Amino acid sequence: MSFLELINFFRKEIEAKVWFKVVIKFFLHLSIVFSEIFFLSAFFLILNKKIESNAFNFFYEKLETYFYNFFQNFGATEINILILVFFLFSKNILSIFHLAYFNGFIFNLSVQKSSILLKSFLSKSYQDFIKKDISTYTKQLVRDVENVFVHAFALMINFISELIYVILIIIFLKNLINFNPNYEIIILLILLISILYYLFIEAKKYGRLRASSEITVFKTLSDTLNIFKEIKIINNSKDFVNRFESYLTKWFRTRVFAEIINLSPKFMFEISIVIFFLFIFQNENPKLSMDEFIVKYSVFAIALLRLIPNVAKLSSLLSTFLYNIKSIEFIKNDLIKKIKLDKKENTKKDQIKSIELKKIYLNYLNKDKNKLVSKFSNLNLNFKRNKIYGVYGKSGSGKTSLLNLISGFIKPDKGKILINGKQYNFLDLTRNFKIGYSSQDTTIIDENILINTTLRYENKNDTKNRLKKYLKLFNLNKFNNKRYFDKNLNFSIKNMSGGEKQRIGFIRSILRDPNLILLDEPTSSLDYKNEKKIFEHLLKIKKDKIIIVSTHKEGHKKYFDKIINL
């Protein structure tokens, strides 16, 4: 990413109110700089009695006069000590307030951007969503957003602040004691800048390595934990631990080098200060004794030593910035999408009277992603209200793909899907129609029973009462308990059997009374008794609905009005 692209990204992504807060941050930081300058001035006057800069003397005399008004019995030295203590105290108080203020709005900015990014992810079509692993989404929402706004934008702002701090202090020191840099000091400065430039190039290189290795770590960890049962069965955790350890070691190695690069400027600056004073002492005219030299340059030395953390921080900020800007590339395309969240559900949704698939072609890449395989070729189907359709076929024949096409999760490569004789934008299907969907593997989130079935955090009493009836009907009465419903208790139902999960998924698909119900192997984990209850209920509610069930069980055919063989 070029410098101009970077600036353009932050210009677009950072709102005016945030830039206003940045201006306040700069004002606070300038206040800290001036407190430091007056602190050093008071320290210098205690030792040397005068400052060579007439301009600065004018301001300092005004300050001394102000303090004399309150402490008339104090001498010049006592006043300077008071000024020193006052500005030392002021600097530390301002520094604490500045840190709290800046970190507060930067972390709030990061939270805001993570929320926008999640909103963008959830607005994707299913077909686009599955192009990335869940581990990649997780990393982008947590790590990459933090890298961009806490470890890039904030560091950029802090770098400018620290640079202003260092420049103003150096200007002050130049006026504190007049000296002209000789060629030796200029060469030292050029050498220091050259080394720092080399370190920044290295920081950028390790930033790219960090980004790629971090992705690998998250993906490897996600893959390993997702096949926990399989690993236990073959008793081969060693290979997976070693694989994870190898990738994690590579990731942390890049971070170790980054820390070394961050610390190096501090050491170089300390050595440069020693060499700098050696050059000044040798070239001082007239020659001063060591005692005189120490008195004259003591405050100058103290000021430079106090600058060491700031200069080191400048280098650290810049190298860390370069180390993290790669994350911008991972999130910028999704972040710039301005997605509006639906404030409330559209309850006045259209009724689905018919669905027609006309000349549908659907292809996909095989596992090696080097061969195009046909899933559907010239598929034509019609679905009418008041019927239950059973979809049969071998594994991989396209049962799930058919349900995904009808629900708008995926688009056909060719052909039309008409609802009520009209073609819709796929992303608009769930906005315009009430659709119930139950996948083969029901995911239970770590929340109470009401949230798990409605997937809403605000629910009306009639929804709650309807759920209780369904729990009783489908032999899940054990969850009809206050602790599973109470929002405050938030009693999790995550630990349940496969059959219980499947029934929860079924209730989730019918609870809103949709007029299109799509069920993908809805009873694969159920015994005959609970399976019968599911299908008897479907027969009871099929009026004015289109119900499509994918299954492999021959015994289910008695429940279907029409069989579709793929």
pLDDT digits (tens, 9 = 90+) for 175-221: 666 656 667 777 877 887 787 777 777 776 776 777 778 778 877 88
Phi-psi region of 369 (alpha: psi -120 to 50; beta: other; left: phi over 0): left
CA distance linking residue 524 with residue 136, whole number of Å: 30
CA dist 244 and 217 (Å) reads 7
As a whole number, the mean pLDDT across the chain is 80
Distinct helix (H) and strand (E) counts, the chain: 20, 9
Q: Is pLDDT at 506 greater than 90 in this prediction? A: yes
Taking 3-state DSSP, the helix, strand and coil percentages for the chain, each rounded to the nearest 5, stand at 65, 10, 25
Q: Mean of the pLDDT values across residues 491-520?
A: 86
Residue with tokens 């030292």: 188
Backbone dihedral angles phi then psi of residue 337, each to the nearest 5 degrees: -70, 125
Give the residue, 4 or 109, on which the prediction is more confident.
Answer: 109
pLDDT tens, residue by residue, 406-449: 988 888 989 999 999 988 877 677 778 889 999 888 888 777 88
Higher pLDDT, 338 or 142: 142
Q: Which two tokens stand for residue 200?
A: 């920044």
Indicate the range of 18-27, 308-317, 378-387 predicted with least confidence. Answer: 308-317
How far is the CA of 330 from the CAs of 98, 143, 144, 179, 277, in angstroms? Answer: 31, 11, 7, 50, 47
Pairing label, strands 422-423, 414-419: antiparallel
Cα 564 to Cα 544: distance, rounded to the nearest angstrom: 20
Side-chain-facing half-sphere of 525: CA atoms under 13 Å: 16
pLDDT for 166 equals: 76
* Residue 153 or residue 193, greater confidence: 153
* Stretch among 27-36, 230-239, 374-383, 553-562 having the lowest mean pLDDT: 230-239
pLDDT, mean of residues 336-364? 74
Please determine, for residue 346, whether its predicted confidence score (pLDDT) is greater than 60. no
Q: What is the pLDDT of residues 229-273, one digit of tens each?
A: 667 666 777 888 888 888 888 888 887 777 777 667 666 776 776
What pLDDT is attached to residue 292?
Answer: 64
Strand partners for 372: 365
Residues contacting residue 69 through CB under 8 Å, at least 6 positions apart: none
Q: If one looks up domain 3-335 in CATH, what number appears?
A: 1.20.1560.10
In percent, how much of the chain has pLDDT > 90? 22
Question: What pLDDT shows up at residue 230?
Answer: 61
Q: How far apart are CA 131 and CA 133, in angstroms?
A: 7
Q: Which two tokens stand for residue 454?
A: 């409605």
- Which residues does residue 373 pair with via DSSP β-bridges, in sequence order? 364
Domain boundaries, the chain: 3-335, 354-444+496-565
CATH homologous superfamily for the domain 354-444+496-565: P-loop containing nucleotide triphosphate hydrolases (3.40.50.300)
Would the pLDDT of 276 be above 80? Answer: no
Rounded distance between C-alpha atoms, residue 486 and residue 489, angstroms: 5
Query: In CATH terms, are 3-335 and 354-444+496-565 the same topology?
Result: no
Element (DSSP H or E) covering residue 382: strand 372-384
- Look at 310 and 147; give whichever has higher pLDDT: 147
383, β-bridge pairs = 355
Q: Which two tokens stand for residue 441?
A: 């593997």
